[in-house]
Structure 1
Amino acid sequence: MRRIEIGGASPYAVTVGAGLLDTLQIRERQVALIHPDDLPRTFVERVQAAVSPVVTISVPARDACKTLEVMAGVLSQLAQVALPRDGAVVGLGGGAATDLAGFVAASYLRGVAFYTLPTTLLGMVDAAVGGKTGVNLPEGKNLVGAFWPPTAVWCDTDTLETLPTEVFREGAAEAFKHGLIQDPSLLPRVLAPEFRPGGALLADTIADAIAVKAGVVTRDLTERGERAFLNFGHTLAHALEGVTHHAVPHGEAVGYGMHYAARVSRALGGADLTPDTLAFLRWQRPAPLPALRYEDVAPFMARDKKADSDGVRFVLLHELAHPYLTRVPGDVLREEFASWAQDVAALSRGQAGGPTG
């Protein structure tokens, strides 16, 4: 079992280990449990036995739950059972469900305690840690939300045993990203055969990936500086999610987005990390993308949350583990998108031996 501390104004701990759903300790007497409707029933029952919630609320799976309409319905259910100010919301499930649960906790009665129990790899290494909560709009990903740190996070690695292989590999994108921006030792471990549910590298790799994010959010909770580096690959990723109406899963979109960011980094004089991002995509084996033009994704990138009044900004890499935030000329973005699309098409054909251009 590993325990990672997150500091700052509202410190908390992330615990990584097996069997944690059966050992939960929550100090609040009245608890609302929120989970996606496709979650294995046994997970829900184990948490119910541990915390005795006054209400259990099922929401749509994945990003279908991250809407203002779903959130309004959940808030109404909390009001109907009169969850008190000293109650708590527990989010159980993948990253989308915990994002929603956290925003509900931040909003109901202007804020109640929040506990996170991620059951996917993506949720463990990214969404459940750092206090970012929110929902989507038709115009883009995560455009409405709040910073609301949890009271505690428990990552029960046993829950990963139920994940389909493609969902586990989807979640690995965020761990690989943490390797690119800060801890290069994560890169070979994520691609190793032992990094799998029940594998010898699983728990420590998850804990080390969480430690990267823990250090960043401790220093910069509200994304005034280096927290933006955690968005490496996400500018295009969120655009791919938006333009396809979330038909592309987040982790696969991040995998594609990291390769685009690596190409743009190289075009602006950075080290060539495209072999690493292509190696990850070959390992991840994401579903093929639909045919896309730069004009399709550009409006979504323009609404990215890293944009300011002067335009969109990208997280790039000078070299491995040396990220920076910058604006990129439009002609570079367009040209690299065309070359990225060629790489993606080659991957889909199983012919991607290396980057183009």
Structure 2
Amino acid sequence: MTTRVRVSAAAPYDVVVGHGVSAGLGELLGEQVRRAAIVHPPSMREQAVRLRADLAAGQVDVHLIEVPDGEQAKVSDVLQFCWRVLGDAGFTRSDVVVGLGGGATTDLAGFVAATWLRGVRFVNLPTTVLGMVDAAVGGKTGINTVAGKNLVGAFHEPVGVLCDLDLLATLPGAELRSGLAEVVKCGFIADPTILELVENAGAASVLDPASPILAELVTKGIAVKAATVAADLHETGGLGGPGGGAGPWAADDPAGPWAANGIGREALNYGHTLGHAIEREEQFTIRHGEAISVGMVFVAELASRYDLIDDELVERHRAVLSSLALPTTWAGAFSPLLAAMRLDKKTRGDELRFVVLEELARTRILAGPEESVLRESFAALTRSSR
């Protein structure tokens, strides 16, 4: 079964989810494209070669740009290497960049496209759960710097996204679980049916790449992000959708409607403020979803200390994430994380801002929490319950 989720951006596009959908890349590019660059990590070399052969049959001149795995690709040296390949190949504004890989690869490929000639078209072909439900949808592109993660970037929407579930078959279990952290996040901030599906199906079904349960979870996660992005394209505070106001969806729209709560696209950063700090402290050796899992438990603890949510909802965070063997504790010191969080994109001046829940599927910003409460919330991560 193939599902299309429409992203109502300035230039609307579809996210196509299903088995074997990568075969539709040539059709998505269209007959006018004569040159394409496929940015991919070493693990996707074989798939990139197959795509090149398919596109070459349609008279497309394809250039493969192999970049390092994971976050190691999102650095300025790799970005300049990609620019050099495009320059040597004579890429023009009528040509296309394709991001084939996980979220780090599609982040980089999108930024390459956004910056070359002030913007050329690009297509995302994510190969991980994390890439499918998070990085490949929404137009956020960028690279990391020594100061932090994703601090240099641009908003640049793809012309389409192909989420080929067949590509998950060889994905390591740890990577699968990492991506599901972002799906679970969507359940807490917007669509509780995601949480119910995880709780009722059991880990064996959820973690089976061929399972229809996983396909449904991926589609639901994409739908949450698509609706959120459509309501607040540039993270200025949405007027509709999860974290926004009254949603403009039809009754049968798979994306909503969800609770209106006024913070727009920032809702998608649930758990990310601490999570990004942990990633930086671990020099990006920890998986993104693992860090975000810990970050979600942290902000749940923080919200409970300001009497926004009850203990039951805090413990539901731990239960759902633990059922997928995702971490809910972190053994490092808090002070370095606090310093890193002060560089977070949501920080305003010296005031830290956290996305928190005020009830299930209803988010808000908690601005300027006391440092003592932050430390107490972090300390709770080392305890199984409060």
TM band (smaller chain)? over 0.9
2: CA distance, partners of 1:287 / 1:224: 31
Q: Report the equivalent of 2:372.
A: 331
Alignment of 1:39-188 (within 5 A): 39=44, 41-52=45-56, 53-188=61-196
Amino acid at match of 1:99: D
Q: Report the equivalent of 1:211.
A: 223
1: CA distance, partners of 2:339 / 2:137: 29
What SS does the aligned partner of 2:358 have? strand
Q: Report the equivalent of 2:242.
A: none
Which segment drifts farther, 152-161 or 5-14? 5-14
2:306 paired residue among 265, 268, 289: 268
Q: Report the equivalent of 1:189.
A: 197
TM-score with structure 2 setting the length: 0.86
- Equivalent pair of 1:233/1:256 in contact (CA under 8 Å): yes
**How far 1:23 sits from its partner (Å)?**
2.5
Q: Deviations over 1:218-251 (max 9, x none)?
A: 0101101110000000000000000110111101
**How far 1:69 sits from its partner (Å)?**
1.1
Q: Report the equivalent of 1:221.
A: 233
Q: Deviations over 1:43-99 (max 9, x none)?
A: 222321232343100000000001111111111111011111110100000000000
2: CA distance, partners of 1:96 / 1:33: 14
- Equivalent pair of 2:294/2:328 in contact (CA under 8 Å): no
Aligned residues: 344
2: CA distance, partners of 1:187 / 1:286: 14
Note the residue ranges of structure 1 that are not aligned, 5 or more in a row: 344-351
What SS does the aligned partner of 1:202 have? helix
- Equivalent pair of 1:314/1:325 in contact (CA under 8 Å): yes
Which segment drifts farther, 226-235 or 271-280? 271-280
- Equivalent pair of 1:179/1:185 in contact (CA under 8 Å): yes
Task: State whether structure 2 residue 274 is matched by structure 1 residue 236.
Answer: yes
Amino acid at match of 2:271: G
Amino acid at match of 2:216: D
1: CA distance, partners of 2:88 / 2:320: 47
Which segment drifts farther, 46-55 or 156-165? 46-55
Amino acid at match of 2:289: G
1: CA distance, partners of 2:174 / 2:163: 20
2: CA distance, partners of 1:75 / 1:51: 22
Task: State whether structure 2 residue 29 is matched by structure 1 residue 29.
Answer: no
Return structure 1 stretches of 4+ with deviation > 3 angstroms: 286-291
1: CA distance, partners of 2:223 / 2:229: 10
- Equivalent pair of 1:4/1:214 in contact (CA under 8 Å): yes
- Equivalent pair of 1:236/1:301 in contact (CA under 8 Å): yes
2: CA distance, partners of 1:245 / 1:173: 20
TM-score with structure 1 setting the length: 0.93
Taking structure 1 as reference, are residues 165 and 48 closer, same or farther at Cα in structure 2, changes over 3 Å only? Answer: same
Aligned-residue RMSD, C-alpha: 1.5
What SS does the aligned partner of 2:169 have? helix
- Equivalent pair of 1:103/1:133 in contact (CA under 8 Å): yes
**How far 1:206 sits from its partner (Å)?**
1.1
Q: Report the equivalent of 1:280.
A: 320
Which segment drifts farther, 315-324 or 52-61? 52-61
- Equivalent pair of 1:133/1:145 in contact (CA under 8 Å): yes
- Equivalent pair of 1:175/1:190 in contact (CA under 8 Å): no
What SS does the aligned partner of 1:155 have? strand
**How far 1:182 sits from its partner (Å)?**
0.5
1: CA distance, partners of 2:34 / 2:356: 46
Taking structure 1 as reference, are residues 216 and 256 closer, same or farther at Cα in structure 2, changes over 3 Å only? Answer: same
1: CA distance, partners of 2:42 / 2:328: 27
2: CA distance, partners of 1:258 / 1:48: 40
Amino acid at match of 2:55: V
2: CA distance, partners of 1:56 / 1:236: 36
Q: Deviations over 1:264-283 (max 9, x none)?
A: 11111122322122113322
Q: Report the equivalent of 2:255.
A: none
**How far 1:285 sits from its partner (Å)?**
2.4
**How far 1:289 sits from its partner (Å)?**
7.2
- Equivalent pair of 1:35/1:93 in contact (CA under 8 Å): yes
**How far 1:288 sits from its partner (Å)?**
9.2
2: CA distance, partners of 1:200 / 1:104: 34
Note the residue ranges of structure 2 that are not aligned, 5 or more in a row: 238-263
What SS does the aligned partner of 2:34 have? coil
- Equivalent pair of 2:355/2:365 in contact (CA under 8 Å): yes
2: CA distance, partners of 1:289 / 1:248: 13
2:295 paired residue among 253, 257, 261: 257
Q: Deviations over 1:284-325 (max 9, x none)?
A: 324797742211201111111111125220000001001001
Amino acid at match of 2:86: L
2: CA distance, partners of 1:143 / 1:284: 30
Q: Deviations over 1:165-216 (max 9, x none)?
A: 1110110000000000000000132353322200121222211111111111
Which segment drifts farther, 144-153 or 268-277? 268-277
